[in-house]
Amino acid sequence: MSHVTPTPVRTQWIDLAPGFAGYLALPPAGRGPGLVLWQEIFGVNAHIRAVAEQYALDGFVVLAPDCFWRQAPRVDLGYEGEDRQRAIALMQAYGAEPALADIAAALAALRARPEVGGARVGTFGYCMGGRLAYLAAATAGVDAAVAYYGGGIHGQLERAAAIACPVQFHYAGHDDHIPPAAIESVRAAMAGKPAEVHVYADAHHGFNCWARASYHAPSAALAHGRTLAFLAQHLL
């Protein structure tokens, strides 16, 4: 007779501001440094929730804000067909001012959690969420930031001057959305700052997501290891 062991990670949805919620994953110890996890355009879906739990197992208090709460609260989308088209439309309607407001509110809510208790706070994200992590580094006083294939970062390089914390960037070598020239522009903008830029030669956009056709396990494992080493250095 087999037994299913319950996960040592506790999760719940919490309110961050009126109407604005986030998915919170607590580490086995119950407390630790904070991490805000920014979603892709597909919402706080099964993959993002699982990533939150993955990093909670690594010892972090992880909060994944529901960025599209104004348009479609708790939207949970797949990666193809109509779901993809809806995700693109939601992303296109998500303006700069709401994004910056969400960054400030989410960081404030996480810092106020007793489980964080004055510990350091970082941020990370994927695709659209990578851009939000970069913006959080520029605007929200985080202690570290990690951006996975952050779409549009190369269009907001004027923000780089305001970044003082360590930042780690992960890019795919084959990305229809982020050409090599864009990666090099990010590298140049971050020169002289505590920044790392990693390019995964055999990977495509979305390589970290095991639910996507572009998932590339060797690159995802290497990037995860680098991310944990980076966060351990700067947050733990």
The catalytic residues are 127, 175, 205
Residue 81 CA: distances (Å) to CA of 44, 86, 204: 18, 9, 19
Strand ranges of the sheet holding 61-65, from the earlier edge strand across to the other edge: 10-17, 20-26, 61-65, 34-38, 121-126, 144-148, 167-174, 195-204
Dist. CA 205–CA 197, nearest whole Å: 15
Contacts of 130 (CB under 8 A, 6+ apart): 38, 124, 147, 148, 149, 150, 151, 153, 169
With b meaning 16 or more CB within 10 Å and e meaning fewer, what string describes 1-10? eeeeeeeebe
